[in-house]
């Protein structure tokens, strides 16, 4: 009997059934649809989104844009005895957007045997969580009575096809197909109703599908659990050539609600619901800026498809694409992110375009969502995230924190200054300019595109700060922006690279010197390459954001390299790949990306090049790009890259057709169609062409760096020599100077800042606390309301009363430790050169000098590779303190037991600090890393250390490697990520260098190590 009344509480669980999950479907979508909703109208009654691919319905999302619930719904046609045809394999497919002002798609599937044609119009019920399709069947041979139509549906409720339950139930509309899991329910019905219905296990379905024995399916209305398939049959009546039906898929959390929605949706005529669906989209399109140069249907399709990717429960949350890249090869055995996630960068690119076409309300919702949901407490934004802001991947891309600032400026959203702009700017000031990942989400270092967004964001943040009377932050933002702008070429422009005999921008540099010969690893299987041999067009962001003029010689010459290395000439015009060596794409033989492959041309890069050409046309044209394609031609290239559903892909296939792989030359690949960023870039280019300027270029940035309207020389700034004042409670630097009366003056010292206003005669003074010993650099800045900035850097030295230093001898170990073989490890990284110890009345200080110091993985403390341990013996007594080291597998002599130990790491795990001899954590330590002197400064309160370092105190310093919060292993033979030269594969000493007591010390045993003592 049928399972009438069963609810989600009944879950099929047969452990003896071996289950194999369905795979997801192709990411190359031909159509996207949902009922539009204006949040100001109240709660949305329709929370379903559908996707169309290769003539069939693919993933349906419910109750938001992050959760696909259906793998596929396909029609099968048979005469009941001699043939069975599948839509995917046995029909020619055509998809078209029926109207330019409504997201209404029609699929036309024509039998390859010439016997019939199927037309399908898809909508979402504006009042319910139902997807509807009107199916018109046309018999080209015989009459409709000669054919049966089978509906084959594969649910993947909750994103997992292994735990679904399916059966047949009765509803007002007749027999229906029903499925559920713990959280979601699906019902499928039709008018006229199914004459025959059945449910099948996925394994049994594979057998029937491969044998094409559809007409032998047994009728079944029992329960099937696991990987399930729904089948419903329509036997056409009549002697004519045409017949039709309406099919509906309703979703809910409970089965009774899903059935109710199905009955309600099918009780209305399809034409009435279609009219409501169209009217909603028509009202949206009516309020947009009409196109002048763009193809009308493509222009409106881009706007509507972007809008269709916005969630209805989290307004402003627009996912990158309703697709799963290379989904046909990914099992649906768990929820997967795919591209139905939020990327802050893509989100801001989209919102920027929406502003230009007149959709301010959606752009405002995006900004509110960024502010109220996505932004983290430290001011940053996640690499990507689920709709509720929960991170999906965990990388940190500084441009994704900069773009929301630019969007707030574009929208003139001063009410977002305190909540969004200020904390984001503070984060950039603290963590820039080196980014953990650039916009292609792969490499760390100095990136032209990231630098462009950082500089522009800080300049506009400064303008907003001034409007908010936050002059201190405004001045610091301008100072840092000017500093980074001044280093763009020295950090990212190669003058010795082998790709050209002139300077050119590289994709990314892992160090401040682009020509130091370092190699970088290209992710996605790209391998290791000398960094000057890898280029992308990210430097064009310097032009788009107003930092460099389009006719700048370095920009123009770099385009020559881009056009030589990355261009692809399609029949409609040029397209470009992301960078040479890119592995994110199908293999040469069409196999899907699996962590490696070959990157293909990206149409959105056409739009970026088009915006550059618009900027060049309005420049002084001192230097000309080697190839000028015209912005209009590039707009047409983007239009021609769209498929028959007007969807622009992420990548296009640039080789000969591979029909068995579904790859056609110059058509979208299996990565993602549509890419919402590409749709937005198309709209932005169209408006920029009409306006004859780069419309989104921040005016404040252009004035500062292209027009040079704010010369620093307008403000006088004179400083007195820095003096030191000692007291019982602290030591301070006294800074005094003179500037314009009433001007705000700021001192920036490491991560501290101080501000004041010059008096009526222009005098000012600061008391800056001493935090570290050694060299201190301080930036003193003055800025007026005209944004003119004067700045000077001063240096002061602080050596406390108690001061001791040791220089390490050249020979440290009998057998030198060999570094890991990965190019990220450089000579001197683990070479201990000197150690200094000092103390005043408040603090103890330690300075550790290394042979080389950088921070490639952006450790929060300022280092990435090293672990620095400082062991302190205060009394030199036998049996006092701890003789074992922490994780280094060596120990001290009994008279050298330590009472305190300082550990400094990258501090991802908050393990840097002062430790007691019982291994307990005592307190945090202040760390200041100075790259120029290769010195790590450490400071600790005296009361925590236990006294002033003095005669008889012993010290020992070890340098080891850090690996995910542990000690990087030292083995006999070096590997990619471990050291070599050790005495034992497992139990040998695990440090690389140490503070050797004498040149004659023998390291044959490390079970009774000495200490260096003051004395």
The contacts of residue 347 (CB under 8 Å, 6+ apart) are 317, 318, 366, 369, 370
Separation between Cα atoms, residue 965 and residue 906, nearest integer Å: 8
DSSP-derived 3-state class of residue 243: strand
Bridge partner residues of 72 (DSSP): 154
Straight-line distance from the first to the last Cα atom of the chain, in angstroms, rounded to the nearest whole number: 94
Q: What are the CB-based long-range contacts (under 8 Å, 24+) for 425-429? A: 425/379, 425/457, 425/458, 425/461, 425/465, 425/473, 425/477, 426/379, 426/473, 427/378, 427/379, 427/380, 427/401, 428/398, 428/401, 428/402, 428/454, 428/457, 428/458, 429/458, 429/476, 429/477, 429/480
Is the CB of residue 226 less than 8 Å from the CB of residue 18?
no
Which of 438, 586, 639, 930 is an active site residue? Answer: 438
Separation between Cα atoms, residue 838 and residue 953, nearest integer Å: 12
How many Cβ atoms from other residues are within 10 Å of residue 950's Cβ? 12
Is the CB of residue 439 less than 8 Å from the CB of residue 345?
yes
Separation between Cα atoms, residue 71 and residue 885, nearest integer Å: 56
Separation between Cα atoms, residue 763 and residue 777, nearest integer Å: 21
Per-residue b or e along 912-922, where b marks 16 or more CB atoms closer than 10 Å to that residue's CB: bbbbbbeeeeb
DSSP-derived 3-state class of residue 686: helix
How many Cβ atoms from other residues are within 10 Å of residue 982's Cβ? 23
Q: Write out the DSSP string of 907-950.
A: -TTS--EEEETTS-EEE--EEEEETTTTEEEEEEEHHHHTS---
Which of 349, 441, 485, 608 is an active site residue? Answer: 441
CA distances from 336 to 384, 386, 471, 650 (A): 13, 11, 45, 19
> Exposed, middle or buried: residue 367 (CB in 10 Å: 0-12, 13-18, 19+)?
buried
Bridge partner residues of 189 (DSSP): 248
Separation between Cα atoms, residue 949 and residue 837, nearest integer Å: 8
Question: What backbone phi and psi angles, to 5 degrees, belong to 347?
Answer: -60, -45
Token match 């606390």: residue? Answer: 769
Supply 172's token pair: 């007002």
The contacts of residue 281 (CB under 8 Å, 6+ apart) are 36, 101, 102, 103, 104, 304
Pairing of strands 185-191, 174-180: antiparallel
Is the CB of residue 158 less than 8 Å from the CB of residue 68?
no
Is the CB of residue 780 less than 8 Å from the CB of residue 789?
no
879: Cα within 13 Å, side-chain hemisphere: 0
Bridge partner residues of 385 (DSSP): 342, 391
Bridge partner residues of 153 (DSSP): 73, 230
Q: Write out the DSSP string of 805-873.
A: EEE--S---SSPPBPPSSTT--TTTT-EEEEEEEE-SSEEEEEEEES----TT--TTS-SSEEEEEEEE
Is the CB of residue 244 less than 8 Å from the CB of residue 136?
yes
389 torsion bin: left (phi>0), alpha (psi -120 to 50), beta (else): left
Is the CB of residue 323 less than 8 Å from the CB of residue 672?
yes
Annotation says 441 is catalytic: yes
Could you list the active site residues? Answer: 438, 441
């Amino acid at each position: 009997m049928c399972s009438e009344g069963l609810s989600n509480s009944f879950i099929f669980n047969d452990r003896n059934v071996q289950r194999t999950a369905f795979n997801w479907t192709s990411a190359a979508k031909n159509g996207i649809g949902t009922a539009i909703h204006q949040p100001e109208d109240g709660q949305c009654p329709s929370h379903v989104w559908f996707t169309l691919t290769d003539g069939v319905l693919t993933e349906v999302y419910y109750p938001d844009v992050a959760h696909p619930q259906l793998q596929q719904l396909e029609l099968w046609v048979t005469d009941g005895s001699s043939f069975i045809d599948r839509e995917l394999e046995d029909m020619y497919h055509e998809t078209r957007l029926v109207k330019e002002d409504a997201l209404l798609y029609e699929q036309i599937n024509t039998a390859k045997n010439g016997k019939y044609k199927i037309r399908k119009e898809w909508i979402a019920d504006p009042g319910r969580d139902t997807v509807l399709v009107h199916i018109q069947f046309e018999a080209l041979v015989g009459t409709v009575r000669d054919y049966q139509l089978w509906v084959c549906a594969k649910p993947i409720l909750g994103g997992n096809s292994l735990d679904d339950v399916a059966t047949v139930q009765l509803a007002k509309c007749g027999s229906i197909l029903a499925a559920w899991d713990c959280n979601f329910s699906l019902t499928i019905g039709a008018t006229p109703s199914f004459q025959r219905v059945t449910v099948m296990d996925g394994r049994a379905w594979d057998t029937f599908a491969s044998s094409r024995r559809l007409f032998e399916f047994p009728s079944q209305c029992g329960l099937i659990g696991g990987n399930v398939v729904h089948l419903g049959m329509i036997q056409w009546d009549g002697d004519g050539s045409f017949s039709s039906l309406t099919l509906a898929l309703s979703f809910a959390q409970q089965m009774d609600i899903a059935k109710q929605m199905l009955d309600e949706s099918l009780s209305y005529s399809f034409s009435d619901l279609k009219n409501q669906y169209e009217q909603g989209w028509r009202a949206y399109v009516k309020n947009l800026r009409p196109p002048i140069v763009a193809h009308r249907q493509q222009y409106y399709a881009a706007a509507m498809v972007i809008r269709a990717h916005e969630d209805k429960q989290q307004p402003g949350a627009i996912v990158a694409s309703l697709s799963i890249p290379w989904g046909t090869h990914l099992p649906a055995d768990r929820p997967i992110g795919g591209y139905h996630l939020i990327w802050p960068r893509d989100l801001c690119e989209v919102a920027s375009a929406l502003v230009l076409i007149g959709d301010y309300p959606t752009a405002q919702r995006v900004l509110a969502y960024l502010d109220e949901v996505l932004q983290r407490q430290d001011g940053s934004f996640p690499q990507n995230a689920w709709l509720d802001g929960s991170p999906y991947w965990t990388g940190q891309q500084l441009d994704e924190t900069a773009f929301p600032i630019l969007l707030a400026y574009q929208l003139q959203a001063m009410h977002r200054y305190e909540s969004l702009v200020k904390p984001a700017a503070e984060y950039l000031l603290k963590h820039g300019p080196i980014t953990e990942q650039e916009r292609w989400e792969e490499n760390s270092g100095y990136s032209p595109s990231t630098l462009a967004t950082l500089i522009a964001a800080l300049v506009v943040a400064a303008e907003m700060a001034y409007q908010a009377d936050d002059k201190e932050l405004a001045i610091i933002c301008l100072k840092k922006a000017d500093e980074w702008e001044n280093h763009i070429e020295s950090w990212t422009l190669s003058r010795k690279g082998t790709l050209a005999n002139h300077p050119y921008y590289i994709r990314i540099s892992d160090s401040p010197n682009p020509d130091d010969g370092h190699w970088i690893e290209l992710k996605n299987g790209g391998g290791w390459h000398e960094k000057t041999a890898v280029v992308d067009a990210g430097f064009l962001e310097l032009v788009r954001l107003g930092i460099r003029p389009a006719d700048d010689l370095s920009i123009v010459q770099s385009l020559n390299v881009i056009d030589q290395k990355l261009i692809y000439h399609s029949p409609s015009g040029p397209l470009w790949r992301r960078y040479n060596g890119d592995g994110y794409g199908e293999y040469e033989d069409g196999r899907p990306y699996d962590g490696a492959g070959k990157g293909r041309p990206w149409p959105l890069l056409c739009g970026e090049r088009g915006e550059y050409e618009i900027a060049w046309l309005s420049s002084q044209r001192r230097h000309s790009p080697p190839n000028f394609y015209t912005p209009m031609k590039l707009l047409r290239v983007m239009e021609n890259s769209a498929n028959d559903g007007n969807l622009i892909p992420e990548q296009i296939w640039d080789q000969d057709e591979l029909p068995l792989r579904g790859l056609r030359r110059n058509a979208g690949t299996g990565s993602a169609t549509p890419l919402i960023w590409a749709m937005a870039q198309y709209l932005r280019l169209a408006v920029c062409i009409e306006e004859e300027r780069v419309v989104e270029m921040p005016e404040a940035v252009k004035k500062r760096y292209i027009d040079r309207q704010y010369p620093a020389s307008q403000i006088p700034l004179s400083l007195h020599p820095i003096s030191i004042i000692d007291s019982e409670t602290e030591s301070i630097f006294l800074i005094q100077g003179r500037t314009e009366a009433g001007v705000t003056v700021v001192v920036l010292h490491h991560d501290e800042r101080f501000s004041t206003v010059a008096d009526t005669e222009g005098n000012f003074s600061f008391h800056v606390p001493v935090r570290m010993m050694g060299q201190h650099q301080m930036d003193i800045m003055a800025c007026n309301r005209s944004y003119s900035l004067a700045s000077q850097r001063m240096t002061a030295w602080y050596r406390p009363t108690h001061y001791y230093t040791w220089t390490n001898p050249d020979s440290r170990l009998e057998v030198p430790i060999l570094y890991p073989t990965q190019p990220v490890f450089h000579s001197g990284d683990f070479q201990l050169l000197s150690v200094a110890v000092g103390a005043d009345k408040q603090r103890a200080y330690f300075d550790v000098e290394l042979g080389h110091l950088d921070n490639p993985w952006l450790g929060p403390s300022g280092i990435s590779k090293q672990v620095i341990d400082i062991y302190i013996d205060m009394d030199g007594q036998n049996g006092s303190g701890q003789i074992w080291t922490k994780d280094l597998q060596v120990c001290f002599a009994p008279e050298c037991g330590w009472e305190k130990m300082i550990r400094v790491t990258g501090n991802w795990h908050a393990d840097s600090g002062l430790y007691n001899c019982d291994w307990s954590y005592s307190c945090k330590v202040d760390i200041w890393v100075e790259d120029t002197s290769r010195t790590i400064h450490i400071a600790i309160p005296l009361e925590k250390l236990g006294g002033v370092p003095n005669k008889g105190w012993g010290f020992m310093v070890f340098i080891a490697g850090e690996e995910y919060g542990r000690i990087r292993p030292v083995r006999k033979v070096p590997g990619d990520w471990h050291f070599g030269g050790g005495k034992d594969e497992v139990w040998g000493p695990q440090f690389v260098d140490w503070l050797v007591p004498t040149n004659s010390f023998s390291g044959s045993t490390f079970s009774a190590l000495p200490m260096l003592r003051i004395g």
